[in-house]
Structure 1
Amino acid sequence: MTIALERPVSTTDPTTLLDPAVADRLTRRITTDHPEISADLARRIVGQTAAFIATSGQQPGRDLVPSRYVDYGWHAFVLHTVDYAAFCELVAGRFVHHVPTDGGDEVTEATRQSRERTLAAITAAGYTVDRDLWPDLAECSQCHAGCTDSPNGGKKK
């Protein structure tokens, strides 16, 4: 499978995708919602969230999935609807939906493959991957057209 790139392959700090004021708001939201997370870790989560949303928004239907940490960032971002909608339009040209799946906590070969597919896509899109923030996957994805989080629950019609 070939990944079409919108930008040249390079190593880019994904926090550069965000306005610094937005990044600060998201960092504060994460540390408020998750007091066990330091401001430094929250800032790293914000960067990986930006990379994930930008990558998955440009590749609908790929069934890319965030890690638990990135999902914390995604939830924080979605709460800032004006900022989130503007960011999605900027990086993907459309709104990137977040719809939870009904997956369990069990790590399977399929979840490992989803993680690796997601990390490969982020890397191919030119963003730095902070592997420490990807130890597991959350129960959601960007795919909204027949994937696990679609209105039909991923069932083929």
Structure 2
Amino acid sequence: MTSLALETRNGRDLVTPELFTRLVDFCADEYGLELSTAARVMDQGLAFLDVLGSTGEPLSPSTLVDPAWHTFMLHSVEYTQWCQERYGRYLHHSPAGQYRDTSTMVDVTGKLRAHGYVVDDSLWGAKAECNDPACCGDGGC
């Protein structure tokens, strides 16, 4: 019996190399991250957004990955175009809303893997975590 292996993907491949570099540079500067860390954060954030956009499930990023979503949204022209081209809609970030309650804090890394993405476990932990009140104002779960 032959099993079909799911091809692994990287979030960074969802945007052009030029845009990925701009996002990484901004993320590093805005959040005080080393460039290598910002690249990992952006890669995971893009993969997360793709699963969110593809499934429509109410998912939440970890505290370490959330800056990727903020970074991309601040590049509003590119973000809006990317969302429209890929999903036919804008992916809203809803702090303190449906993406942040206890019932929606699921094993996001499992969903990323199920969609073929390479997961950087060090940025996720076992499950996505709630953000501190200082980030998005959503508080604890």
Report TM bin, short chain.
0.7 to 0.9
Unmatched runs of 5 consecutive residues or more in structure 2: 132-137
For residue 49 of structure 1, report the CA deviation from its aligned partner. Answer: 0.8
Structure 2 counterpart of 1:137, which letter? E
Cα gap change, 1:85 to 1:50, in 2 (>3 Å): same
* Cα contact 1:53–1:88 (8 A) shared by 2: no
User: Separation in 2 of the partners of 1:90 and 1:70?
Assistant: 23
1:14 corresponds to 2:6: no
1:33 corresponds to 2:24: no
TM-score when normalising by structure 1:
0.70
Partner of 1:88: 83
Larger RCO of the pair (alpha carbons < 8 Å, separation 6+): 1
Partner of 2:134: none
User: Separation in 2 of the partners of 1:56 and 1:42?
Assistant: 20
Structure 1 counterpart of 2:41, which letter? I
Pairing of 1:109-128 with structure 2 (within 5 A): 110=102, 114-116=105-107, 118-128=108-118
Partner of 1:51: 47
Structure 1 counterpart of 2:93, which letter? H
For residue 126 of structure 1, report the CA deviation from its aligned partner. Answer: 1.3
CA RMSD of aligned residues (A): 2.5
Structure 1 runs, 4 residues or longer, greater than 2 Å off: 89-93, 135-139
Unmatched runs of 5 consecutive residues or more in structure 1: 1-7, 103-109, 140-148, 150-157
Structure 2 counterpart of 1:120, which letter? G
Aligned to 2:64, the other structure's residue is in SS state helix
User: Separation in 2 of the partners of 1:74 and 1:57?
Assistant: 12
Partner of 1:98: 93
Partner of 2:64: 69
The superposition leaves residues 65-91 of structure 1 with CA deviations (integer Å, 9 ceiling, x where unpaired) of 101121101101000001111221233
User: Separation in 1 of the partners of 2:96 and 2:61?
Assistant: 12
Structure 1 counterpart of 2:49, which letter? I
Aligned to 1:100, the other structure's residue is in SS state coil
Aligned to 2:91, the other structure's residue is in SS state coil
User: Separation in 1 of the partners of 2:96 and 2:6?
Assistant: 31
TM-score when normalising by structure 2:
0.77
Aligned to 1:137, the other structure's residue is in SS state coil
